[in-house]
């Protein structure tokens, strides 16, 4: 997979967003205005992107993204929006504080990091501004499915499905259904002490373990 410079990514994202706004080919002067650069430098950069087969240029008409450029533009957009979501939801940023941070983070984040954050936040559909987060995956980790009897100590798992029996058990313990659990200890009788994302610890009896359907991301 090709590596892209920050400038290349900014151009690809600009072309993508200008196309979204107006449809059709995107004018070089519009790209220059959008990125606040002089028209000749935009012309120069477009030439370079065309040489790399990332964009197609039709003289006097404008520019469009080729498949690889389109793919990278969508990734940068996803990176930006995943970071904004993360900063607001997980790091207590205010919505009006996140754009500048995301502008920097979007370029320095690997596809793996962005997809892992995206999965960690349970695949959010939109960012805090309401813009759609591209749902396609840019890095394919493998999702492994297992039950609690196969889980390992100190690992964190996503809870996929719970039987009504387990739901009743949790209600009886007055514990909210966890999205994630971490295995703390496996006791001598094979019951398991787990911790939820809210730091609530409880014991799951041996006979209940296979009823806990879990997943995790393998790398
Ligand atoms: Zn933003």
Residue 76 lies inside a defined structural domain of this protein: no
Domain around 146: 142-218
* Distance from the alpha carbon of residue 122 to the mean position of ligand 1, in angstroms: 20
Residue 28 lies inside a defined structural domain of this protein: yes
Residue 18 lies inside a defined structural domain of this protein: yes
Residue 96 lies inside a defined structural domain of this protein: no
The CATH number assigned to the domain holding 37 equals: 1.10.10.10
Q: Which helix (H) or strand (E) holds 185?
A: strand 180-186
Residue 22 lies inside a defined structural domain of this protein: yes
* Distance from the alpha carbon of residue 79 to the mean position of ligand 1, in angstroms: 10
Q: Identify whether the C-beta of residue 181 lies closer than 8 Å to the C-beta of residue 204.
A: no
Low-confidence stretches of the chain (pLDDT beneath 50)? 1
Per-residue model confidence (pLDDT) at position 111: 93
* Distance from the alpha carbon of residue 96 to the mean position of ligand 1, in angstroms: 9
Look at residues 18, 49, 65 and tell me which one is the last residue of a structural domain.
65
Per-residue model confidence (pLDDT) at position 219: 63
Residue 79 lies inside a defined structural domain of this protein: no
Look at residues 65, 92, 114 and tell me which one is the last residue of a structural domain.
65
* Distance from the alpha carbon of residue 200 to the mean position of ligand 1, in angstroms: 35
Residue 121 lies inside a defined structural domain of this protein: no
* Distance from the alpha carbon of residue 24 to the mean position of ligand 1, in angstroms: 24
The pocket of ion ligand 1, defined by CB under 5 A, consists of 99, 102
Residue 93 lies inside a defined structural domain of this protein: no
* Beta-carbon contacts of residue 113 (< 8 Å; ≥ 6 apart): none
Domain count across the chain: 2
The CATH number assigned to the domain holding 175 equals: 2.30.30.90
Alpha carbons within 13 angstroms on the beta-carbon side of residue 168 total 5
């Amino acid at each position: 997979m090709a590596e892209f410079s920050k400038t290349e990514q900014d151009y690809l994202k600009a072309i993508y967003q200008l196309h979204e706004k107006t449809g059709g080919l995107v004018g070089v002067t519009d790209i220059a205005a959008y990125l606040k650069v002089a028209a000749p430098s935009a012309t120069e950069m477009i030439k370079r992107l065309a040489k790399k087969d990332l964009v197609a240029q039709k003289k006097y008409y404008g520019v469009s993204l080729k498949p690889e450029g389109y793919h990278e533009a969508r990734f940068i957009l996803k990176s930006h929006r995943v970071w904004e979501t993360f900063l607001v939801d997980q790091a207590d940023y205010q919505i009006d504080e996140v754009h500048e941070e995301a502008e920097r983070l979007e370029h320095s984040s690997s596809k793996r990091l962005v997809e892992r954050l995206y999965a960690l936040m349970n695949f959010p559909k939109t960012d805090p501004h309401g813009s759609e987060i591209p749902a396609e995956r840019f890095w394919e980790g493998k999702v492994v499915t297992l039950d609690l009897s196969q889980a390992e100590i100190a690992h964190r798992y996503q809870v996929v499905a719970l039987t009504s029996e387990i739901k009743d058990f949790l209600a009886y313990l007055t514990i909210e259904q966890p999205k994630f659990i971490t295995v703390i200890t496996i006791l001598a009788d094979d019951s398991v002490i787990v911790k939820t994302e809210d730091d609530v610890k409880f014991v799951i009896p041996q006979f209940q373990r296979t009823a806990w359907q879990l997943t995790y991301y393998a790398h």
